[in-house]
Amino acid sequence: AQTVTQSQPEMSVQEAETVTLSCTYDTSESDYYLFWYKQPPSRQMILVIRQEAYKQQNATENRFSVNFQKAAKSFSLKISDSQLGDAAMYFCAYRFPFSGTYKYIFGTGTRLKVLA
Amino acid sequence: NAGVTQTPKFQVLKTGQSMTLQCAQDMNHEYMSWYRQDPGMGLRLIHYSVGAGITDQGEVPNGYNVSRSTTEDFPLRLLSAAPSQTSVYFCASSADGLETQYFGPGTRLLVL
């Protein structure tokens, strides 16, 4: 069965510094999708970044980038130039590859604190 | 666009009561889903739908029913509420299941 593991319940980073959040997953599929979502105190889930497994190039979105290691089944999120507004829960998610389904598996989350 | 809306925002139920959590989206998305979020558990998929008239079970479907009679609406029914169903419930939608998921603001449910 597919699983997603986030081994860091909580992380802290100084404002303007860089932090990396870890995520590992387990699947026997070769083609799938991986996501990072941000959940601020408002509880809204906000998409941060998406990675297609068939793409070797790591996805980037402004200050957010991923390190996708397919063989190691690792999908870490790097946040550069951290800002106070980055403080939130971050969830890693795996999306099943099959068309006609809409199944995601989420990790348990990492709470990121940004220190001024 | 209002995006994904959920009602109510907060609800208290007694054990054994039934209720329906409402979810609606105005983006003409085919794919919709319901999750529950519990402390330390992340989000777990309850049910999902890939279009009107088509639903399927997720990871934790027991005690919940869904139907999808229109593209816009995807209600979640609790048949006989139990304290174990105390949680925050999120509805999400997506254009084709591979693109961005849009989440609603959540419904906090307390079952006494």
pLDDT above 90 for B101: no
Residue pLDDT, tens place only, B12-48: 999 999 999 999 999 999 999 999 999 878 899 999 9
Each residue of A37-93: pLDDT tens digit? 998 887 778 889 999 998 888 999 999 999 999 999 999 999 999 999 999 999 999
Percentage of chain B exceeding pLDDT 70: 97
Nearest to A102 among B40, B48, B59 (CB): B48
Nearest chain A residue to B97 by CA distance is A102
> Measured between CB atoms, does B95 come within 8 Å of chain A?
no
pLDDT-derived band at A30 (thresholds 50, 70, 90) equals: confident
Tell me the mean pLDDT in the region B69-73: 97
Structure tokens at B35: 């999750």
Contact flag A95-B94 (C-beta cutoff 8 Å)? no
What value does the CA radius of gyration of chain B take, rounded to a whole number of Å? Answer: 13
The answer to whether B33 faces chain A, any CB pair under 8 Å, is yes
Q: Which of B74, B77, B68, B66 is nearest to B25 (CA)?
A: B74
CB contact under 8 A, B42 and A91: yes
pLDDT band at A99 (very low <50, low <70, confident <90, very high): low
Q: Alpha-carbon distance A79 to A109, whole Å?
A: 16
pLDDT of amino acid A19: 98
Bridge pairing between strands A88-95 and A110-115: antiparallel
Task: Please give the single-letter amino acid code of residue A85.
Answer: G
Beta strands A110-115; A10-14: pairing state: parallel
**What's residue A100's pLDDT?**
65
What residues of B are in contact with residue A91 (Cβ under 8 Å)?
42-43
